[in-house]
Each structure stands twice: as C-alpha cells, then as structure tokens.
Chains A and B, each alone.
Chain A
Amino acid sequence: MRDAPGHLLVVDDNKVNRLLMSRSVEMLGHRVSVAENGRIAMDMLKSDSYDILLLDIEMPEMDGFEVLEALKADPGLRQLPVIVTSSVEGLDNIVRCIELGADDYIPKPVNKVLLGARVSASLERKRLQDEQKQMLNRFATPEVAEHLSASGFAIGGERRVATVLFCDIRDFTAISEFMTPEATIDLINTYYTLMFEAVSSQGGIISLMVGDGLMALFGAPNALENSAQAAVSAAREMLAMTAALNEERAAANDPPLQIGFGIATGEVVAGYTGTHHRATYTCIGKTVNLAARLEAHTKVAGCEILLDQATRARLTDNAYIREINDVRLKGFAEAINAFVL
C-alpha cells in the first residue's frame, strides 16, 4: 500500500546517521529535510509543514527530550507525529520519550522495513485526524472544534446559560415547489453558507439543520462575553446578506427569500447527544423551546426578529426595540413579553 508522499524531518547531530535516515526515507517514497540539532529543528518546524518528525535523542544544544517538551508546549505542533529513532541505552530513556509525547520508538540502526511500516501508520493516523478535524470544522468554528476535539467528544451534558437562535425561510415549501430539486438544494446550501458565515463570525455554532430550519448556539460549548448580543448581531448580519442575495434573485426573476429569527437566552443543557458512533452537539431546555416558538411567532407578529426578555436585557447596541406584551406561545403556560428588533 503506497501512501501519498509525506514530508519528513530527520533530526540527528551525526552526519552518517542523517545520510542513512534520509536515504531510507527517500527510498520509501517520501520527501526529507534534515536538522543537526533540536534548535534548528524547532526553527524548521515553525517555518514549514511536516508530516512526521524522526527524532534522535543524544544531541548537543537541544536534545530530543527538550524537543519533545517544546512540541508539547506549542499548540500548533502538539499534534505532530514524532518517531524517536535512537540508540539510546536503557529502557527508562525510551519510556521517558513516550511519556514526553513521542508516538513511537524505533531503535537504531533503523530497519528500513520497520521504518516504512511505522511511517505509513503515522501518516494514516494523521490523515484520519485531519479528516476528522475538517468534518468538525463544518459544524463549528475552529476554536470550538479545537475545544471539542480536546475534550474528546465526551458524551454527556452540562448546564449553562447560552443564547439559542432559530431561523427559517418563510414559505420555503411553496417557493421550492416550482423549482427543480437541484435548484432547491442549491438554494438551501447558499442559505446555509451565509448563515454559517454570520453565526461563525459572531463566535457561535450551527447546531441543527432540518430542511430550511436551522438552530444556532451562542455561548456553548465555548463561553462568549455576551452571547445574546452575538446572536442578535448574527441575525442582523444574516438579514443584510439575504437582502443582497434577494437583489440577485430579483434580477433573475426569482422570488425573494424571507427569513425569520427567534432568539432566547437562558439555561440550557448542552452536550453531545447520540451514541458513541453517531452524535451531534446540541442543547435542550425551555430556552430552546422558547426560541423555536418565538421564531414561529414572527409570522404571526409580522416581523423578522423576535427576542425574549433575557436576550433584550443583555443587548449592548442601541437598536430600536418594540415590545409586544402578553404573547401566548404554545407550550408556555404564562404569557411572555417579546421584543421586536
């Protein structure tokens, strides 16, 4: 099985060793760069991209142990696969490497077949990790994705205060009836892309997409300084982008998209729901229900954005806000005060 060629960095203070390792790596079909000691290696790692580090231990200036520690301390390099290649004496030295974060150990002189197997395994592992990160980034901002993968996708919930935003396209079913399936999906995807942009730029995550309906979360899993303001800003941004999109649609004689938002702030239970094999990050609770009902109510009230009291109270921008009293929503025994942006 041949991998795509990787870029490997060989670090060894001994010239004969460097040459031999480079030769083996090239014979295995990969690109190789070399460094004479740990310090030079760290400089090179910071300025170019490498797939695997082949690290010697006994080196002057900065030895292998120090390199391993420096890698762990650097968030950009922490995930770099490291294979220690050393003829260091003593099992405890080998153990120390593993404890410092080395992924694997190959004794010197390095057997080319063994090296090939270990390099392939490392590259495959890295490829899967990168794929997983990419998939994760589809649902969350890079910061959230980092947080989630660091926490190990733990199934389970936590209670926290967050802002929930629901959004959907008015009468989408009616609009799409006269469109081809391809055009419908295309339109939905354009809408998702814009929503994703607006939500991410305010530090939130898209939690759920059902048809043209979408739920976004602000303040979970990562806390935000003002989740309510972030959600409202995202909604405003989205409306602006939709207006621009609608200009294009008008030019093409397509009906405009009209979207409505319901935003509520309060305690939610958030976490990964599902099973170990299939899960999504979402949240539940009264706040979620309220946001959903408010969104639905925008049609009744004839407005674009409806906020609950808790969200209204946290806003820092001086938007014109109209209050609607005594709103009765399904599932809520008492009437609430809603606020229109």
Chain B
Amino acid sequence: MSPKFVDTETYAEFRASVGEEFAAELVGTFLQEAPLMLSELKAADASQDPDGFRRAAHSIKSNAEIFGATALADIARHMETSGATTIEALERTLSQTETALRALIDA
C-alpha cells in the first residue's frame, strides 16, 4: 500500500462510510471502468474534442477523489481545467493507482 498513490486516511474513511464489502466492490468497478475512461480521454484528444476531453478528465478526477487517489486526482484536475494533454503521465499514474487499490482490497 503506497501512501503516495492512495491516501490511507481518506480510503479508511471511505471504507468505514460504505462498509468493507461495498468498498471492495466499488474499487472493482473503478478498476473495470478506468480503461474505458482512459480510452475516452485519448479519443477526445485525437478528435480534438475539448468538451469530451474535459468530461473524461473530470470523471477520472471525480472517481480518484473518492478513494483518496490524490496523485491521480491532481493530474486529472490539471488536465480538466487547463486542457493540458499530459495523457502519458496520467496513464502512468493511473497504472500505479490501480496497483495500490488492488493491494488494498486484497489485504
């Protein structure tokens, strides 16, 4: 569990709020949805769709905040508000966040 990618305290609060079983389910859903959100982001960038790009970045940010994935949230927020196309950086951060989250629900 890496505090860099998932904030321990935020995650613990989240898990306590919805229950351990549901928390694990929701993480699972996020892990399923994340590749889709990433594709949407890439597609919007490729087709020069600023609104689609912003919405995709916004979705990733919004979900990241739920689990305390601050690094992912920060980069997604930056892309949402500035339109900066730092997709590779986001992809790396996302990958490491996924690893951290998997470790948390397997624990």
Contacts and interface: CB of A to CB of B under 8 A. Distances in A.
Partners in one complex: yes
Interface in A102-128: 108-109, 112
A14 B59 contact: yes
Counting from the closest, the 3 A-B pairs by CB-CB distance are A109-B66, A87-B62, A16-B63
B65 A108 contact: yes
A16 B65 CA distance: 12
A207 interface: no
Contacts of A20: 18, 26, 66
A19 B65 contact: no
Interface of A: 13-17, 19-20, 23-24, 27, 58-60, 87-89, 108-109, 112
8 contacts: A13-B55, A17-B66, A19-B29, A87-B61, A88-B58, A89-B77, A109-B65, A109-B66
Nearest to B55: A58
Max chain B Cβ within 10 angstroms of own Cβ: one of A60, A89, A109: A109
A19 B66 CA distance: 12
B18 A89 contact: no
A62 to B, nearest CB: 13
Given A58-B58, A109-B65, A109-B66, A16 B33 contact: yes
Nearest to A56: B62
Contact of A17 (B17, B63, B80): B63
Contact of A23 (B22, B63, B65): B22
Interface string B22-44: 10011001100100000000000
A109 B15 CA distance: 13
B48 interface: no
A112 B18 CA distance: 9
A17 B58 CA distance: 12
A27 B4 CA distance: 31
B81 interface: yes
Interface string B1-22: 0000000000000100110001
B80 A14 contact: no
Given A20-B18, A58-B55, A112-B17, A87 B26 contact: no
Given A20-B66, A23-B18, A23-B22, A87 B58 contact: yes
B81 A89 contact: yes
Contacts of A58: 54-55, 58-59
A60 B67 CA distance: 24
A213 B37 CA distance: 71
A89 B80 contact: yes
Nearest to B36: A15
